[in-house]
Structure 1
Amino acid sequence: MRTQVAIIGAGPAGLLLGQLLHKAGISNVILERQSGDYVLGRIRAGVLEQVAVDLMDECGVGQRMHHEGLVHEGIELLFKGERHRIDLRSLTGGDAVMVYGQTEVTRDLMAARAAAGLPTVYETGDSVSLHGFDGNAPVVRYRKDGQEHEIQCDFIAGCDGYHGVSRASVPKGAIREYEKVYPFGWLGLLADVPPVFHELIYANTERGFALCSMRSATRSRYYVQVPLEEKVENWSDEAFWNELRLRLDPEARERLVTGPSLEKSIAPLRSFVAEPLRFGTLFLAGDAAHIVPPTGAKGLNLAASDVKYLASGLIEHYRERSDAGIDHYSERALRRVWKAERFSWWFTSLMHKFPNEGPIAQKLQEAELDYLVNSKAASTALAENYVGLPL
């Protein structure tokens, strides 16, 4: 098989890239190690910056998002038992965020790709291998239904996540990795209950962090900070709801509606960046290149900005015979990545209880939060980063 761009990974990054390239008349094939149902079953965040919203529209798949998504003009910070609103729209001159689950983003992109008849190969397992990307004739090989297959292409886009084959295929010494692992995780519960509040609540408490979020007006997603070694089987639904109540303010506690969990899991937190993001004709994008703690809601949005930069460079290559875009892809993407990494690290450090730091740490966090909500300059800095810095 011959195509112009081989895309590894059928998550949002790979699907967004494939759709943008298709719209520009650039042929592409997507390979995914898991089944389509498995990809859709992954529970991920769903706060979209304007760049992600714009890309969905550019791909022609934004109709359901605009109909069902929830526009949020602010967030609530809870500390010392009281909530304080950060007005995103007024502080940023009109910007907001869209709450629309990553599962729904993926579903919309999958449907558009299928409707266009574009090739996606699911369930390749661990058989995918990348070759020749240090030259001008890269090849992707994989096994499907007992048969060996080969894709000849001009470029390879590695959108296959933190554990994918793309970054692992880069020769040792050609890539530098930066990583910070946090000493706690998020225990998350998804339930078909109305949200406790119409905007997200980020809670800093002496018991640890909590987050009240939602997927829709009838489906909620809640998180509580737990030790890194905690096991999800140790938490019944009742135990989760009881712990969440202890981390809420009286009004939210009173309004909380509980119900049986649809999904419950523990996610570890890490900051991770691999650089550069280009190796010959192989490019990394999304979680294959970087991971952020979910506190700042930047994971999917960074993938979207990577894709925007990469798609623009590839389109420029084919339309204008210029390599300026792809030559500067890594530098441009990483500049935005590191700013988002900084914000996510700062917000995580501010809102979570760190082990072995003692009571002074809580007092210092509360002092900074008090300054943050009472200083327009500090609130503006938070709001600007939360809604997304300019491309």
Structure 2
Amino acid sequence: MRTQVCIIGGGPSGLLLSQLLDRAGIDTVVLERRSRDYVLSRIRAGVLESGTVGMLEKAGIATRAHAEGLPHTGTYLAVQNTGFRIDFDALIGKQVLVYGQTEVTRDLYDAREKADGIVVHELDGVELHDLDTDAPHVTYVKDGTTHRIDCDYVAGCDGFHGPSRQAIPKDVLTEYERVYPFGWLGVMADLPPVSHELIYANHPRGFALASMRSPTRSRYYIQAPVDDPLDKWTDDAFWDEFRRRLPHDSAEALITGPTIEKSIAPLRSYVADPMKWGRLFLVGDAAHIVPPTGAKGLNLAVSDVHYLFEALTSHYRDGDDHGIETYSQTALKRVWNAIRFSWWFTTTMHRFPGQEPFDQAIQDSELRNLQTSVNAQTVFSENYVGMPY
């Protein structure tokens, strides 16, 4: 098989890139190791930056997001059970949209299917070949048969554990990592959210986040040891701990009940540099991981897609390779800004092992400054809603 761009990974970044390139008349093939049902079963974040919404509009798949998504013009932060609101709309005239990543992926699958896009599922043994030549190709095994795709470029949208980043020589790749000494215990529940906007809570017992997927489905998190056994966290144990960490008025309004999903996720900050080698481009989690504080994971992947889409369309339409040559440097500028913001927000809101009263006092002071300073709130809003591409 021959295509112009072989995309490894059928999550939202790979499907979005495929959809955008298809609309620009550029051929793609998407390779996804898992089944479509498996991809759509993954629970992920749901806060979309304004730039991400713009990219969904450009891809022609924003109709349902606008109809069913929840616009948020601000967010709440709390310290030791007392909260305050940051008004994005008043400060910078922008907002975010709460719309689940799973729903974004579903919309992209529907669009690729409607356009007769090629997405190959349930395969193994993906290998990338001759990336440092003018004729790269990708091989994979499906149903016991090895297949080959010849292409101009390869886009590695295959996540942290995929083969794309591994194809970059070790003496070329520099990796930066910070592993956080805790995890997020998250639950999903078909219950009305405790707040119409997100609540990020700093508390001496640990961080908590009140989020949602819809007016009737809540997504809640608490900081917990990453190696905690899930059976330790019964529903009652979770609700009791979650309530303790919320602002007092929210704790009183909290509606509890059975949860429908429960998991503990580790937190890390990670960056791979460069994001381009030969004819290979890294996109999304293949190149960078952020802690979920601030919901930058999907949004950062979409910004990578933006830069790569612009680079490839300039190449095929105008014969201009400047965007291709500078993709890594351009994307990494925005990546490091998001890494910095997520690191700052995580260290400000969480309780660290061995943390002393001094450390909590510094966090309290940081949040009081954010509560009282218009300048600090403006900077926070710009970063949370998303810096421009």
Task: Tell me the TM-score normalized by structure 1.
Answer: 0.98
| 1:95 lines up with 2:94 in the alignment | yes
- Between the aligned partners of 1:370 and 1:316, the Cα distance in structure 2 is 47
Determine the structure 2 residue equivalent to 1:63.
Answer: 63
Partner of 1:180: 178
Deviation at 1:224, TM superposition (A): 0.1
Q: CA deviation at 1:89?
A: 1.0
Q: 2:103 — aligned with what? A: 104
CA distance in 2, matches of 1:361, 1:290: 28
Report what 1:225 is aligned to. Answer: 223
* Equivalent residue runs for 1:108-187 within 5 Å: 108-125=107-124, 127-187=125-185
Q: Which residue of 2 aligns with 1:212?
A: 210
Give the CA deviation at 1:120.
Answer: 0.4
Match of 2:298 in 1: 300
Q: Secondary structure at the match of 1:128?
A: strand
Q: Deviations over 1:75-103 (max 9, x none)?
A: 001113211000111111x1110000000
- The corresponding residue for 2:361 is 363
Q: CA deviation at 1:235?
A: 0.9
Does the alignment pair 1:82 with 2:82? Answer: yes
**CA drift at 1:231:** 2.1
- Alpha-carbon shift at residue 170 of structure 1 (Å): 1.3
**2:322 is the alignment partner of 1:321:** no
Other-structure match for 1:26 = 26
- Cα distance between partner residues in 2 of 1:35 and 1:169: 24
Which residue of structure 2 aligns with residue 189 of structure 1? 187
Counterpart CA distance in 2 for 1:146 and 1:227 is 41
Identity of matched residues, %? 59
Partner secondary structure for residue 215 of structure 1: strand
Q: Report Cα offsets for 1:178-212 as digits up to 9, x if no partner.
A: 00000000000001101000000000001000000
- Please give the alpha-carbon distance, in whole angstroms, between the structure 2 residues aligned to 1:294 and 1:360: 26
Looking at structure 2, the residues matched to 357 and 256 of structure 1 have their Cα atoms a distance apart, in angstroms, of: 29
Gaps of 5+ in 2: none
Deviations 1:122-180 (A, max 9, x none): 1113x110001110100100011111100000000000000001001111111100000
Cα deviation for residue 218 of structure 1 reads 0.5
SS of the aligned residue for 1:143 comes to strand
Q: Tell me, what secondary structure is at the counterpart of 1:238?
A: helix
Tell me by how many angstroms 1:295 deviates.
0.4
Cα drift, residue 342 of structure 1: 0.3
SS at match of 1:330: helix
- In the other structure, the counterpart of 2:17 is 17
Structure 1 unaligned residues grouped into runs of 5+:
none
Over residues 316-347 of structure 1, what are the superposed CA-to-partner deviations in whole Å (9 max), with x where a residue is unaligned?
Answer: 10000110111111111000000000000000
Q: Give the length in aligned residue pairs.
A: 389
Counterpart amino acid of 1:38?
Y
Distance across 2 between alignment mates of 1:372 and 1:192: 33
- Give the whole-Å Cα distance in 1 for the aligned partners of 2:240 and 2:275: 44
Are 1:332 and 2:330 counterparts? yes
Do 2:80 and 2:245's aligned partners in 1 also have CA atoms closer than 8 Å? Answer: no
Q: Deviation per CA, 1:228-262, whole angstroms, max 9, x where unpaired?
A: 32122221111111110111122111211112111
- Give how far 1:390 is off: 1.2
Tell me, in whole angstroms, the C-alpha distance in 1 between the residues paired with 2:149 and 2:38: 24
Give the CA deviation at 1:366.
Answer: 0.5
Corresponding residue number in structure 2 for 1:372: 370
Secondary structure of the residue aligned to 2:15 is helix
Aligned partner of residue 207 in structure 1, secondary structure: coil
2:380 aligned residue: 382
CA RMSD of aligned residues (A): 0.8
CA distance in 1, matches of 2:347, 2:89: 25
CA distance in 1, matches of 2:72, 2:101: 16
> Using the alignment, how far apart are the partners of 2:330 and 2:249 within structure 1?
44
Offset, 1:115: 1.2
Corresponding residue of 1:37:
37
The secondary structure found in structure 1 opposite 2:354 is: coil
The whole-number CA distance in structure 1 between the counterparts of 2:260 and 2:330 is: 39
Counterpart of 1:85, as a letter, is R
Alpha-carbon distance, 1:46 to partner: 0.7
- Measured against aligned partners, the alpha-carbon deviations of 1:252-309 in whole angstroms (never above 9, x if no partner) come to 1121111211111001000000001100000000000000011011110000000000
Instruction: Report Cα offsets for 1:45-101 as digits up to 9, x if no partner.
Output: 010011110111111110000000000000001113211000111111x11100000
Q: Is the 2:293–2:345 contact (alpha carbons within 8 Å) kept by the matching residues of 1?
A: yes
Contact 2:49–2:386 under 8 Å retained in 1 = yes
Question: Which runs of at least 4 in structure 1 moved beyond 3 Å after TM superposition?
Answer: none
Local SS of the residue matching 1:261: coil
Do structure 1's residue 7 and structure 2's residue 7 form an aligned pair?
A: yes
Whichever residue aligns with residue 101 of structure 2, its letter is Q
Amino acid at match of 2:306: K
